[in-house]
Structure 1
């Protein structure tokens, strides 16, 4: 069991005190709001399945920035790299990088920033898909079965793809007109061995995008903003199980988990025309 935190400016005022509810000054519209925040969550904790503490990466308030090889800074997600004893952290809310650590020794292995370059903490504007560095947050780092890692650069509205060793492969942009909290929040893959379909949780646009993973062609999307079943309020996380069912979690005032049950494959034309409600097309371009 692994726990990573993503809480900024902690410890804060005493819970329940008047100071806790004092509004902070609003940041500039395109500012990197995490650039000067102090992160209590500069660590990852390792536990046994029964809750025994086994070890720690980093220490509270210990981060020295994106080049630090002893601490993390606001990890958004942890995923194990298939066939290895390493895991990758979307490192992420405070840093501008992905970092890889050995699960046995808890030692640093490697890191990289956007396009596979050395990470940088230089303040840059958000919503720039051509930005030379990751913004905040780097919100997902999801490895596929065929040696690739898909990284959600949320506020730069893009997903960058790398090999396991950090070699840059390509990127694509998701909903380039998005502002606010950005577009790609998290990624899940279909459970078939080829992982043919890629599901992208888009928190700001309140939907799930369905892509053909190999071609990176968007097949369609489902969901919309709202409170009813099948609608979303800031869909934040997404995962699939071995049966193909999809589970989503909503943040902010969404505060719920939804389950979408796999019902089999249907022609994509039926999904697009509204003749089927399933989230699993039988092939692209039908």
Structure 2
């Protein structure tokens, strides 16, 4: 719900509202400044990229809070691969440029590097990373080695 209500809405396949949660804020669980994107993992957990608060909050599909990942630039987009590894496109923060980070299931950083500003991100079955770049209107591809 992004720039307005700072809420997450869940709908049925036929478009009926099932539930909503969240409120504007920068404090505790369920408070969002800018829920920019979300990921529903295979286990059903909902990962909310709260970009302006520079964190990812994790919930059940019903809105029950589980945990929070911090220590990142503003998260633009998060994806998960078939091995349960997370890939995150981060905005610049604290004097660092835009980053891509690879994280384990607990949110711990496995790898992180500076890149051009990525608004979107995807990982293919070979582990290659694709970054959607807004300022240059292009796509960067990072090829996995090894």
Separation (CA, whole Å) in 2 of partners of 1:132 and 1:107 = 22
Separation (CA, whole Å) in 2 of partners of 1:149 and 1:132 = 12
- Preserved CA contact (<8 Å) 2:44 2:61: yes
Aligned length: 142
RMSD: 2.0
Larger CA Rg, structure 1 vs 2: 1
- Preserved CA contact (<8 Å) 2:132 2:140: yes
Aligned counterpart, 1:246: 129
Q: Please state whether the residue corresponding to 2:8 is helix, strand or coil.
A: strand
- Preserved CA contact (<8 Å) 2:29 2:57: no
Separation (CA, whole Å) in 1 of partners of 2:70 and 2:139 = 27
TM score, norm. by length of structure 1: 0.46
Structure with the bigger percentage of strand: 2
Question: 1:202 and 2:90 equivalent?
Answer: yes
Separation (CA, whole Å) in 1 of partners of 2:36 and 2:64 = 19
Q: Please state whether the residue corresponding to 2:43 is helix, strand or coil.
A: coil
Question: 1:167 and 2:64 equivalent?
Answer: yes
Gaps of 5+ in 1: 1-90, 114-118, 225-230, 265-286
Question: 1:256 and 2:138 equivalent?
Answer: yes
- Preserved CA contact (<8 Å) 1:99 1:112: yes
Q: Which has the higher contact order (CA 8 A, sep 6+)?
A: 2
